[in-house]
Chains A and B, each alone.
Chain A
Amino acid sequence: MLGYTITQWLFGILSFLAIMFALMVVFTRNPVNSVLYLVLTFFCIAGHYLLLNAQFLAVVHIVVYAGAIMVLFLFIIMLMNLNADTEPRKHIATRLIAGTIGGMLLFVMVGALKGSEQLQLVHGGSSQIGLVKNLGKVLFSEFLFPFEIASVLLLAALVGAIMIGKRDTNINSKETTN
């Protein structure tokens, strides 16, 4: 097909879709639509992971991001009753400046990468490192301590989120008694 392999076609299509959906996340007015476009972007990125032979990460990415985090976002948006486009626009100058800064950043990055003409090919087809067995071995031997720290971090985040999100009855009762 026009001299490209099927992997290259897949890469092109997935990249195009990811960038389009990411743009829609930023430019859609309705927050709910924005969340749904972000889910689609995450699915495209999971497709990239599959293309890179990182199967475990692709599955975890879909479960954690599209399954858990995005549900949390949708839940909060519904809770705050923001599902209409109630957001006032920023000033036009601010948005222009944001676009200009982004464009300049892109220009600098592309310019910096243009000089390095080392076109190293990514060889993903034969590698086995993305499999659960292999990653589990590395995770539980080399990275055992960071893994435990991550569990403590998740516990702390759990407790913190509950403490912050709880309605503070203590202060209210004090105010009423005073």
Chain B
Amino acid sequence: MLNGIPINFYIMLSAVLFIIGVVGVMARRNAIIIFMCIELMLNAVNLLLVAFSTLHNDASGQVFVFFIMAVAAAEVAVGLAILSMVYRNFKTIDIDLLSRLKN
């Protein structure tokens, strides 16, 4: 059965998910939540890449999504290590408090 969904719907869905991630990054103070919103943005882009890969019947898009997942995993590992070190030194991960960079 053919997948009769216009590509515009996928673009809209990805745009909405991406913007939810952007709003989350701007509106929250917890650094871990901000990380999670960045993951949400990455996933919105991944979804659009897969949709276009299926549209053009080209496997390169899906391979690219695979690489994005690898990079995201590396980024999360290093980022959470940094956050845990920051928490050990400052006892907080509130970015409004951390933005002073001193004390």
B21-69 CB contacts (< 8 Å) to partner A: 21-24, 26-30, 32-33, 35-37, 39-40, 43, 46-47, 50-51, 53-55, 57-60, 62-63, 65-67, 69
Q: A122 at the A/B interface (Cβ < 8 Å)?
A: yes
Chain A residues lying within 8 Å of B27, measured Cβ to Cβ, are: 26, 90, 94-95, 98-99
Find out whether the CB atom of B71 lies under 8 angstroms from the CB atom of A127. Answer: no
In this complex, which of A57, A72, A130 has the most chain B Cβ atoms within 10 angstroms of its Cβ? Answer: A57
Sorted nearest first, the 7 A-B pairs with minimum C-beta distance are A157-B74, A98-B26, A124-B3, A102-B23, A26-B24, A165-B81, A98-B27
Check A45–B57 contact: CB distance below 8 A: no
Contact call A19/B73, Cβ cutoff below 8 A? no
How far is it, in angstroms, between the C-alpha of A67 and the C-alpha of B27 when the chains are bound?
27
- By the criterion CB–CB under 8 Å, are B80 and A150 in contact? no
CB distance from A32 to the nearest CB of B (A): 10
Interface size for chain A: under 10, 10 to 19, 20 to 34, or 35 or more residues?
35 or more
B84 near A76 (CB under 8 angstroms)? yes
Q: Counting CB contacts under 8 A, is B98 at the interface?
A: no
CB distance from A122 to the nearest CB of B (A): 5
B1 touches A7 (CB 8 A): yes
Contact B66 A60 (CB under 8 A): yes
**A49 adjacent to B58 (CB under 8 Å):** no
Q: Are B40 and A154 in contact (CB under 8 A)?
A: no
Our count of residue pairs bridging A and B at CB distance below 8 angstroms stands at 241
Q: Interface residues, chain A, CB within 8 Å of chain B?
A: 5, 7-8, 11, 15, 18-19, 22-23, 25-26, 31, 34-35, 38, 41-42, 45, 48-49, 51-54, 56-57, 60-61, 64-65, 68-69, 72-73, 76-77, 79-80, 82, 87-90, 94-95, 97-99, 101-102, 105-106, 109-110, 113, 116, 119-127, 129-130, 134-135, 138-139, 142-143, 146, 150, 153-154, 156-158, 160-162, 164-165, 167
B80 touches A76 (CB 8 A): yes
Asked whether B85 lies within 8 Å of A164 as measured between CB atoms, the reply is yes
Contact assessment for A19 and B66 in the assembled complex, using a CB-CB cutoff below 8 Å: no
Q: Given A120-B7, A129-B57, verify A19-B77 contact (CB < 8 Å).
A: no
* Residues of chain B lying within 8 A (CB to CB) of residue A77: 32
Residues of B within 8 A of A31 (CB): 30, 32-33
